[in-house]
Copies of this chain bind each other. A is one copy, B any other.
C-alpha cells in the first residue's frame, strides 16, 4: 500500500478511495466462497459482512444524503449491514447472527461494492462546493472506517478458521521467518511533568482523540520493547495461570470459566508450544512479542513481574518524538516479529499495546450529533485503551494520538503489552 496519503485534491481522494477499496478485496483473495459467511463467535464477523458493511457506510452517510438521485442497491441491506448505528432508523440484524445469512451471495456483495464505488466516484467528482466540506470529512471517516475493517477482516478470519479442527490457513503461501534472537529487556526513563496528549485541531483524527489537553505525569520508566514469548513462558511455567494472587478478580473468573492456560492460539503439540498464524501453525518463536492475550493476562503478568502497564498518557508522551514506523500490514508479514536493537522501539506496529487506561472521554469531549456520532463515544465504558497499531494495521491509518479500545477479556486482536513503572 502506498505510504503517502492523498494530496488533498478531489482526484487524489478518488485515488485513495480506489486504493483503499481495492485493498479490502485483495485481502479477500485467499478466501474460498465457503469462508465468506463464516462466524464462530459473536465478535468476529464474516468476511462477506465486512465487505458489505463498509459499503453500507458510504451509502448511508455519503450517497443517501449527498448524491442527488442515488438509488440504493437493495433497500433491505440497510437492515442487514448496519452494524450498530441506532439512529439511522433501519435497525440492524443481530451481530451474533451475521454468519446465519447465506444470501446475498458473495457475488451479489461484490456487485453491491461496484454499485457503491461507481456512485462514490461520481459524488467525489460532481459534489458541489457547498456540500464538499462535509462530504470530504465523511469520506475520510469512511476510508478510515474501511481500513479498520480491513484489520478486523484479518483478525476475524483468523479467529473463524482457528475453530476448524482441520486447521486451514488463511494464506498457505506465507513463509515463517527464521526465529529471532531474544534480547534482554532494558528500561528507559521519562521525567514526566505536565505534558500534552491528544490530537490538535488540525488534520484528520477521530473525535475520541480530542481535545488535546494537559496531563500531569509522575516520573516513569518504560520497557524498551514488548514482552516476548520467552518471558511470558516464564510466567506460565511459574504457575501464573493457576495463582489468583496475580489476577484481577474479573480476570481470575475468566481464567477459570474459560479454562485459560496460555494466550489464544497457543497449543502444545508433543510437549512443544505452537501457535496459529495467518500462515498456519508455527513453532513458537521465543524472541517474538507475545500476542493474542487479554488485558487480564497482560495485567497479571505485570503484577507477577512487580511492574505495571503504561497509561495511555505515558505511552503517548514516550512515543511523541518517535517515527511512525514498524511492522504494519504493508510489510506483508501478517504477524509480529522480534525487534532487535536498542532504545524504545516497537511503539508502532507489531502489536496493539494494552494500556492501564480505561477508554473514557478526554476532558471537554463531546460526541458529534446524529448517527455518525455513534462512531466512538458510545463505547466509552468497560473497555481499555490500546495504542500503537499492529502488523495488520495500515501504516497510513495510524496516528500518535490514535486510541483503539477493546473489552479486557478479548484476545482475538493482535494485542500485546509493554511493562512500565512509576519511579
Interface residues of A (CB under 8 A from B): 32-40, 76, 79-80, 84, 86-87, 93, 97, 99-106, 160-161, 163-166, 168, 194, 213-218, 220, 244-245, 247-252, 295-296, 299, 303, 308, 311, 356-358, 360-361, 363-364, 367, 374, 378-382, 408, 422
Contact = CB atoms under 8 A, between A and B. Distances in A.
A76 B299 CA distance: 33
B102 A35 contact: yes
A102 B160 contact: yes
A106 B379 CA distance: 40
Given A87-B245, A361-B308, A381-B295, A37 B34 contact: yes
A38 to B, nearest CB: 5
Given A105-B34, A216-B215, A249 B84 contact: yes
29 contacts: A32-B102, A32-B105, A33-B33, A34-B37, A34-B102, A34-B103, A34-B105, A34-B106, A37-B37, A37-B38, A38-B100, A39-B100, A76-B165, A76-B166, A97-B163, A101-B166, A102-B161, A102-B168, A103-B161, A214-B216, A214-B218, A218-B364, A249-B378, A251-B381, A308-B361, A356-B360, A358-B358, A358-B360, A382-B408
A194 B166 contact: no
Contacts of A213: 218
Contacts of A363: 217-218, 220, 311, 422
B36 A381 contact: no
Nearest to A163: B100
B164 A102 contact: yes
Contacts of A79: 165
Given A32-B105, A34-B105, A215-B216, A356 B361 contact: yes
Identical copies of this chain, number: 4
Contacts of A160: 100, 102
A244 B87 contact: yes
A168 B295 CA distance: 43
A103 B245 contact: no
A109 to B, nearest CB: 10
Nearest to A314: B363
Given A105-B34, A249-B379, A408-B381, A165 B93 contact: yes
A40 B105 contact: no
Given A165-B76, A214-B216, A34 B33 contact: yes
Contacts of A311: 363
B245 A216 contact: no
A382 to B, nearest CB: 6
B164 A245 contact: no
A245 B79 CA distance: 18
Given A93-B165, A217-B363, A311-B363, 5 more contacts: A34-B102, A99-B99, A220-B363, A296-B381, A357-B360
Contacts of A102: 32, 34-35, 37-38, 160-161, 164, 168
A165 B308 contact: no
Most buried by B among A102, A248, A249, A299: A102
Contacts of A103: 32, 34-35, 161, 164, 166, 168
A213 B218 CA distance: 8
Contact of A378 (B86, B100, B104, B248): B248
Given A76-B165, A378-B247, A34 B32 contact: no
A104 B165 CA distance: 11
Contacts of A99: 99-100
A240 to B, nearest CB: 14
A78 to B, nearest CB: 11
Contacts of A360: 356-358
Given A103-B32, A164-B101, A86 B422 contact: no
Contacts of A32: 102-103, 105
B244 A216 contact: no
Nearest to A373: B245
B86 A245 contact: yes
